[in-house]
């Protein structure tokens, strides 16, 4: 008995030392996030090269900790103890060990000099992408993108299991358990169902007026409405910040410091729905339990589930009559004429129009999966078929013409529209489509538990947020996406709910939505 007690004490000390190393690593990661946030919001352009070197140094130190021999010794000892005694660690500690093992495996296989060089490269790349986008010049971005793809393929090869495709390694980074074998039929289903529905709905939408969305509304009005909508949806300004950036995004230092951005465009629906989207991400992070704060499991479980939450609030909630009924008059007053002369019904018809557009972030719900499909197919070509980066604009434009019936006339509205590849986020895009499908499946179940429409009409989003917090947000990374779906809905991932949602909504005239 005494021997067992001593053994448990030793394991406890080893875990505490492991935690101490993880705390140092998390502090470094938090610092890098701050620099990246600053770079995309307030930092002067001339600071980019110097900031990239700082981020490179911090990332090198982060890798040194998690790839160190001492970290591996402690991790191995704790994992061995857990196998011998299943109850030695609680649920949170076990999850931390699981995530630590994955991160240690990911980092230890990459040579330190390559890891630092890549961190500096991606830190510089976002600025290069921004300038290329402003100048409508893909050629100036192509060399750095080529480097990023080369590193990504190299890193994936280091991590790949025997027989595993490189792109599958990348996909697994953002959505565990999903690969091309699962995603190919999912996207084929989407294509088969959406293309004919899109043709009918887009034809109907041609008669829906929307010019009032592009009137000369001042930025101050957009800013006032953005803050109001974020707060109304549930954004906590005591724990969060709303700023501006070229491409709206969300980042978090932890669940008590969540930062979102938006942009103000000529069409006000762009800023309105960007804010609703990013606030959905923020609500997820705010809802994570405090005992998970600043640990490896103190963040959203996957990008697919994160996009599920953001797009749930942006589209399923945010484009509904029930959501806008109690607030439309107030928001219209913020913008002024001609929105004040536009009825709620006409506003909803306009923001639910189906349009064969060029820009993913401004796409309607129905055509959106096709925007993601274009990126998914191109990423597969880049990674699995060695597509030359220089050919990207042509391939991009061809696929848009094939799937959406429109062709970009500039790089800005084509291949340069997204920030993701400049950040090295190859394999991320499918998460958007998966998030839509997760959201429809969860919404189907939620309606059995809550009077969703009545709550929205009463301006009571709190009960909806609490339902999501209780079933999804609080767990952080304790559960993966598929476990959350099974626990919430009683079944594994099932895209048929997404298809049914789209058919039900877009199979009828916009005025009835």
How do residues 361-418 score in pLDDT, each as one tens digit?
889 999 999 999 999 999 999 999 999 999 999 999 999 999 999 999 999 999 999 9
- Are 369 and 194 in contact, with CB atoms under 8 Å apart? yes
How do residues 397-409 score in pLDDT, each as one tens digit?
999 999 999 999 9
- Are 205 and 351 in contact, with CB atoms under 8 Å apart? no
Phi, psi (5° rounding) for residue 82?
-65, -35
Angle at 361 between CA 355 and CA 366, to 5 degrees: 40
Average pLDDT over the chain, rounded to an integer: 96
How do residues 159-197 score in pLDDT, each as one tens digit?
999 999 999 999 999 999 999 999 999 999 999 999 999
How do residues 104-125 score in pLDDT, each as one tens digit?
999 999 999 999 999 999 999 9
Confidence of residue 2 (pLDDT cuts 50, 70, 90): low
Joined together, the tokens standing for residue 140 give 């100036």
Q: Is the dihedral of CA 355, 360, 366, 369 positive or negative?
A: positive
Q: Which of 485, 399, 378, 396 is nearest to 439 (CA)?
A: 485
On the CB side of 372, how many CA atoms lie within 13 Å of its CA? 27
- Predicted confidence (pLDDT) at residue 352 exceeds the cutoff of 70: yes
Whole-angstrom distance, CA of residue 175 vs CA of residue 181: 14
Average pLDDT of the residues in 418-423: 96
- For the beta sheet containing 240-244, the strands, ordered from the edge strand earlier in sequence to the opposite edge, are 240-244, 257-262, 250-254
Pairing of strands 257-262, 240-244: parallel
How do residues 205-231 score in pLDDT, each as one tens digit?
999 999 999 999 999 999 999 999 999
Q: Which of 108, 97, 110, 112 is nearest to 22 (CA)?
A: 97
pLDDT at 3: 65
- Are 236 and 279 in contact, with CB atoms under 8 Å apart? no
pLDDT at 368: 97
How do residues 44-91 score in pLDDT, each as one tens digit?
989 989 999 999 999 999 999 999 999 999 999 999 999 998 889 999
Whole-angstrom distance, CA of residue 444 vs CA of residue 428: 25
- Residue 278 among the catalytic residues: yes
pLDDT at 296: 97
- Are 400 and 367 in contact, with CB atoms under 8 Å apart? no
Q: Which CATH number fits domain 180-512: 3.30.1330.10, 3.30.70.1230, 1.10.3720.10, 1.10.1370.30?
A: 1.10.1370.30
How do residues 262-301 score in pLDDT, each as one tens digit?
999 999 999 999 999 999 999 999 999 999 999 999 999 9
Pairing of strands 250-254, 240-244: unpaired
Joined together, the tokens standing for residue 190 give 């989407």
Confidence of residue 9 (pLDDT cuts 50, 70, 90): confident
pLDDT at 512: 47
Catalytic residue among 175, 278, 307, 510: 278
How do residues 326-348 score in pLDDT, each as one tens digit?
999 999 999 999 999 999 999 99
Determine the angle formed by the axes of helices 180-205 and 166-174, rounding to 10 degrees.
70
Q: What percent of the chain stands above pLDDT 90? A: 94
Instruction: Provide CATH 1.10.1370.30 ranges for the chain.
Output: 180-512
């Amino acid at each position: 008995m005494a021997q067992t007690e001593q053994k448990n004490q030793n394991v406890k000390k080893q875990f505490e030392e492991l935690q101490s190393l993880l705390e140092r690593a998390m502090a470094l990661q938090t610092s890098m996030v701050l620099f990246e946030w600053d770079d995309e919001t307030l930092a002067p352009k001339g600071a980019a090269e110097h900031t990239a070197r700082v981020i490179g140094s911090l990332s090198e130190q982060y890798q040194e900790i998690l790839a160190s021999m001492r970290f591996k010794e402690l991790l191995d000892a704790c994992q061995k103890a857990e196998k011998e005694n299943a109850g030695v660690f609680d649920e949170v500690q076990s999850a931390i060990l699981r995530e630590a093992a994955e991160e240690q495996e990911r980092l230890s296989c990459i040579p330190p000099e390559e890891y630092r060089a890549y961190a500096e490269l991606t830190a510089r790349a976002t600025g290069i992408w921004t300038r290329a986008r402003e100048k409508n010049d893909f050629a100036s971005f192509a060399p750095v993108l080529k480097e990023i793809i080369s590193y990504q393929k190299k890193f994936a090869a280091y991590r790949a299991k025997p027989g595993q495709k490189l792109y599958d390694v990348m996909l697994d980074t953002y959505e565990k358990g999903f690969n091309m074998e699962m995603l190919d039929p999912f996207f084929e289903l989407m294509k088969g169902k959406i293309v004919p529905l899109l043709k009918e709905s887009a034809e109907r939408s041609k008669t829906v007026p929307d010019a009032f969305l592009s009137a000369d509304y001042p930025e101050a009005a957009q800013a006032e409405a953005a803050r109001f909508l974020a707060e109304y949806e549930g954004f906590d300004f005591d724990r969060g910040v709303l700023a501006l950036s070229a491409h709206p995004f969300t980042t978090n230092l932890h669940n008590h410091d969540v930062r979102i951005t938006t942009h103000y465009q000529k069409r006000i629906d762009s800023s309105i729905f960007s804010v609703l989207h990013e606030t959905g991400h923020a609500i997820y992070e705010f809802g994570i339990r405090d005992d998970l704060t600043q640990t490896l499991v103190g963040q959203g479980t996957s990008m697919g589930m994160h996009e599920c939450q953001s797009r749930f609030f942006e589209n399923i909630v945010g484009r509904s009559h029930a959501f806008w009924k109690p607030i439309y008059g107030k928001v219209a007053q913020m913008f002024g004429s001609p929105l004040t002369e536009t009825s709620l019904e006409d506003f909803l018809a306009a923001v639910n129009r189906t349009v064969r557009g060029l820009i993913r972030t401004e796409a309607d719900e129905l055509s959106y999966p096709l925007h993601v499909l274009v990126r998914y197919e191109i990423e597969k070509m880049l990674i699995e078929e060695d597509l030359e980066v220089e050919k990207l604009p042509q391939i991009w434009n061809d696929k848009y013409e094939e799937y959406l019936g429109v062709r970009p006339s500039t790089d800005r509205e084509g291949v340069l529209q997204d920030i993701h590849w400049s950040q090295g986020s190859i394999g991320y895009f499918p998460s958007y489509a998966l998030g839509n499908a997760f959201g429809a499946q969860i919404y189907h179940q939620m309606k059995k538990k809550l009077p969703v429409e009545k709550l929205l009409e009463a301006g009571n989003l709190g009960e909806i947020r609490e339902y999501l917090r209780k079933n999804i947000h609080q767990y952080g990374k304790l559960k993966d996406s598929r476990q959350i779906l099974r626990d919430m809905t009683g079944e594994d991932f099932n895209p048929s709910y997404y298809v049914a949602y789209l058919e039900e909504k877009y199979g009828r005239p916009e005025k009835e939505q």
